[in-house]
Amino acid sequence: MSTVPSDRAWWQDRLGAIPDPDGSWRPGVSRPPEHPGVRGEIHQLLLTSYGTELVAEFFRPTSVPSTGVVVVVPSYDTPGLFAESTERTELSGQDPTLAAHGLQLAEVGHAVLAVPWWFEQVATEDPSLSHAQDFAERYGPAAERHRREQSVTPLGRSVADVMLAVTALEGSGLADGARLAAFGHALGGKLTLHLAALDPRIEVAAVHEAGIGFDQPNWGAPWYLDGDVPRDHDQDELLALIAPRPFLVSGGGDRDGEHNLELIREARRHWPDEQGLDLLLHDSGHALPRSVMAGIREWLREQTS
């Protein structure tokens, strides 16, 4: 458990999770969703962050009444969130609809801002990695490039990219007056956790299988903290930065489950009457079942209504 008070500035400095001062954005093209039966339009926002262009995509459904909420969803890539095939889904043989969290959120009227991961983009653009599925093989080259070119942590860079996407959305006029929420699974959960803690513009957030607690070894991976994991700070302190805003930790027992309940209890003390840090556990492992995703989606709607 952390023994020091929460300090947003410390975390930002520690991670480098501050948008690139030379970062910018501009509107991109608009396109219809590829998945049949999905009504609406996807608007692209072209982000220039740390010298690289990333394409975030904003989707507002038109087949259901709008909730007035935009859910920011960081992920490996954006098409997969809208049930469109990507290199990652083709490599795994995965049905793209299974991880179409953007469309599942849109089913109840939430708009979605999908933000891609720079490390996946680098891997996709490298022909030598076209068949790489192992994390170290697929993302190791991008991590090495990042290490050569940037002084911020890889995790900080990724969180900063999502912050820039939020700024671009605000400036685009696409979501005027909307409330901002965030959701992420796995990698996206890690980014959502840090986004909610470091960016007060996010009013409510939920994560699934993010891996709460720095004792979990994947935080030290070269594409996250690159071995430099905090020893005198833990994520009860990070979670405290979100209070009193609503936050949901969900998991299937792989990354998040009974093993990190003590840390979550410690963090919950920072919410008034210990209400506002909610927990949703299941026993299906790392995968996010559609029924659990429906519960997360409804929790987001309740917290933003």
Write the pLDDT tens digit of every residue in 213-252.
Answer: 999 989 999 999 999 999 889 999 999 999 999 999 999 9
Instruction: Indicate whether 3 belongs to any domain.
Output: no
Task: Tell me whether residue 182 is in a domain.
Answer: yes
| pTM of the predicted protein model | 0.96
What is the average per-residue pLDDT within 260-278? 93
Residue 196 CA to residue 183 CA, distance in Å, equals: 10
Residue 5 is predicted with a pLDDT of 46
Residue 188 exposed, middle or buried by CB count within 10 Å (0-12, 13-18, 19+) = buried
Q: What is the pLDDT of residues 80-126, one digit of tens each?
A: 999 998 888 788 777 777 789 999 999 999 999 999 999 999 999 99
CATH number, domain containing residue 244: 3.40.50.1820
> 237 lies in a domain?
yes
Overall number of domains in the chain: 1
Measured in Å, how far apart are the chain's first and last C-alpha atoms? 34
Residue 49 CB-density burial (10 A; 0-12 exposed, 13-18 middle, 19+ buried): buried
Q: Is residue 2 part of a domain?
A: no
The per-residue pLDDT for range 7-42, each reduced to its tens digit, is 899 999 989 888 888 999 999 999 999 988 889 999
What integer pLDDT is reported at residue 242 of this predicted model? 97
Q: Quick check: is 158 in a domain?
A: yes
Q: Is residue 291 part of a domain?
A: yes
Structural domain includes residue 178: yes
- Is 242 in contact with 207 (CB distance < 8 Å)? no
What tokens appear for 85 in the block? Answer: 């095939």
Q: Does residue 155 belong to any structural domain of this protein?
A: yes
Write out the residue range of the structural domain in which residue 59 sits: 8-304
267 φ, ψ (degrees, to nearest 5): -65, -35
Q: Which residues contact 142 (CB under 8 A, 6 or more apart)?
A: 118, 119, 122, 123, 223
